[in-house]
Amino acid sequence: MRFIHPVFCLVGLLSLGACADRPENDQRFRQWTTYGGDPGSHRYSNLRQINVDNVSKLRVAWTYHTGERDTANRAQIQCNPIVVNGVLYATSSRISVLAIHAATGKPLWRFDPFTHWGGENGWAGTNRGVTYWESGSDKRILCSAGNYLFALDATTGQPIPTFGDNGRLDLQRDLDYHKEKFFIVANSPGIIYKDLIIMGMRLSEGLDAAPGHVRAFDVRTGKRAWIFHTIPYPGEPGHETWDDPQAYRRIGGANAWAGMSLDEARGIVFVPLGSATYDFWGGYRKGQNLYANCLVALDAATGKRQWHFQTVHHDLWDRDLPAPPNLVTVTHGGKRTDAVAQITKHGLVFLFDRVTGKPLFPIRETPVPPSDLRGEQAWPTQPIPTLPEPFMRQNFPESDIIDVSPEHHAEIAPQFRQLKSGGMFIPPSEQGAVLFPGFDGGGEWGGASFDPETGMLYVNANEMPWKVTMKENQLAPGGTLADRGQNLYVGNCANCHGADRKGNAGAYPSLVGLDKKYPPAGVAQLLKTGRGTMPSFKHLADADREALVAFLLNLKTEADPYELKEVAANEADDVPIPAYSMTGYSRFLTKDHYPAIKPPWGTLNAIDLTTGKLAWKVPLGEFAALTKRGISPTGTENYGGPVTTAGGLVFIGASKDEKFRAFDKRTGKVLWETTLPAGGYATPCVYEADGKQYVVIAAGGGKMGTKSGDAYVAFALPE
């Protein structure tokens, strides 16, 4: 199955001719020194030793095993490695930092922050890369694990004692937040501007979340240099977009978990922000909710806002901006324009003038349906760009129900008719609704690749429908620990494991019958350390974890009377419980785990940013069982992004079939593919070492029910 746009050849030639400033000699694109390749997140290499004529000869050059493969198949490696001065720096699934000889795969050093500083490493979150900084002979690697940012000597791997507290910085501090303990993980690397590292973070998605303020720290000392309040304080622009004047103290989120991009010459950092909490019911955060779901341009030296654009108003669908934007130069209105392109989970590309924030193509505020949940006020319109064209379907009508067999269609059709459907901004409801595009995109954290040679933006997409059902919360009336734990479960666990504790097959395990598998001490330890994809809840008070254990194991221990308030009316320390909670993240699948919608289920797309038109679209991935039945490749759900090269290629792993592929960037034709030792759910990197071009991808697996791995695999042409 191929979806080739008939005018691609003409579009490609026009775009190529419009590129006056050629990238061949740009040194930014010869190595891979930054997450996303360079500070502008091009995900592009101007190397051409590997090209369309010889890519079929690619072979494994070396493989490095971290030695941390998870036999439970929950661990992942999402890291996009960097390469500096012939050394590849990366992280393992348990966030050991690795230095590897880039030409041979020989290990140079390894640093385990948990062994060095002590503590438990049951869960420190996924990690997508590290950051490099140098000044003269001072060369540093900065990386995060859990709530810590640490600095290592890039040559030896040893902590730098003058940074923070003997080499590490606690990101729970200096947040301008009234709480001292909260869930925080910096899973994407920071970005360097001169002697500053600018950091975002991942937070809880419940009403206990901290605000996602963006901070810059001195690379040498760890001292905070500036902070940008993503939920504005009184007197700051945007504060008026919240109905509650105390929102900055009571609402969390609006965080930059996906990473950032930097215009070094202009000193502008571009920050994509996520939704405010609670994600699916916003009765405590009425209003437009700036700067949640915004692309914000900040002065990199001071943190002062220069411009912003909100891609979703009053988000009820978890439509975080999922990846750093691409800094691009395009021909627009007959002249070359420095712009910024931001992909979204709902399959859109917003394209702005990099300096002014003015959209290059018109953006229309489009009416959307109201909510039927008590206390909710959905925003009446949402912004939709007229161009560029969406890179995935924007709706799931009944006519698009899966048709790979009559049996599959008959299975899904009655379920579909019981749910609300009809558009991508159907508000969550108790009836249940189809969420399409889904929670994970559309576009996701793998990001897009921009080719300055052709003016094309390459982006992969999931076309996976999900189901969203809301349940009204009733506070447990009793005074037992289990009652208290039930209320805590709603705010901390129900989104993943479901209100009924039955989980979501393939993603989140059932907690029903947990009392027959674990003793109380074992569950308490698990809540404290986390495991696999389950985060640590060490930020909760000991008494709260004890209450969760009592609920999860059905213990009937009596406790002193307690009070949990539905609304935090007076004290900011109170954590309210939302009037409604989502019953659980649920992919809309057939019983044999195919998406409920017609194929394609995963695609790779090329978008001409000069015209805004989709140039080509091809399936990404396949299901072997369907291929054997004579069904053309359908594409699969996919995680991790593409890389484009001057050799005419787009490299991408990402697909559920655990393959790594090279596509012709002009046509979308597959030119080479190989099976990885585990799924390549990460973005590759491309670099030159000792005169040879390499392509490296993490084969960490562990997503979508596939096996976990522990390898970095490098490919090159044979001698």
Q: What is this structure's pTM?
A: 0.91
SS3 414: helix
Inside any domain, residue 497 = yes
The pLDDT tens digits for 4-35 are: 433 333 333 333 333 335 676 787 788 999 99
Residue 571 pLDDT > 60, yes or no?
A: no
The pLDDT tens digits for 374-422 are: 999 999 999 999 999 999 999 999 999 999 999 999 999 999 999 999 8
Inside any domain, residue 427 = no
Residue 61 pLDDT > 90, yes or no?
A: yes
Rounded Cα gap, residues 293 and 282, in angstroms: 14
Inside any domain, residue 353 = no
The pLDDT tens digits for 253-301 are: 999 999 999 999 999 999 999 999 999 999 999 999 999 999 999 999 9
Q: Roughly how many angstroms between the first and final C-alpha of the chain, as a whole number?
A: 35
State the average pLDDT for the chain. 90
DSSP string across 32-87:
B-BTTBSTT---EE---SS-TTTGGG-EEEEEEE-S---TTS--------EEETTE
The pLDDT tens digits for 690-704 are: 999 999 999 999 999
Q: What is the pLDDT of residue 532?
A: 61
Inside any domain, residue 86 = no
Residue 2 pLDDT > 80, yes or no?
A: no
Inside any domain, residue 231 = no
Mean predicted confidence (pLDDT) in 592-610: 98
The pLDDT tens digits for 531-544 are: 666 777 777 778 78
Which residue range forms the structural domain that includes residue 487? 470-587
Q: What is the pLDDT of residue 63?
A: 98
Q: Which two tokens stand for residue 657?
A: 């079939």
Using CA atoms, how far residue 292 sits from 228, 253, 318, 464, 648, in Å, is 13, 8, 11, 24, 38
3-state SS of 356-371 is CCCECCCEEEEECCCC
Inside any domain, residue 581 = yes
Domain tally, the chain: 1
Inside any domain, residue 457 = no
CATH of the domain at 582: 1.10.760.10
Inside any domain, residue 113 = no
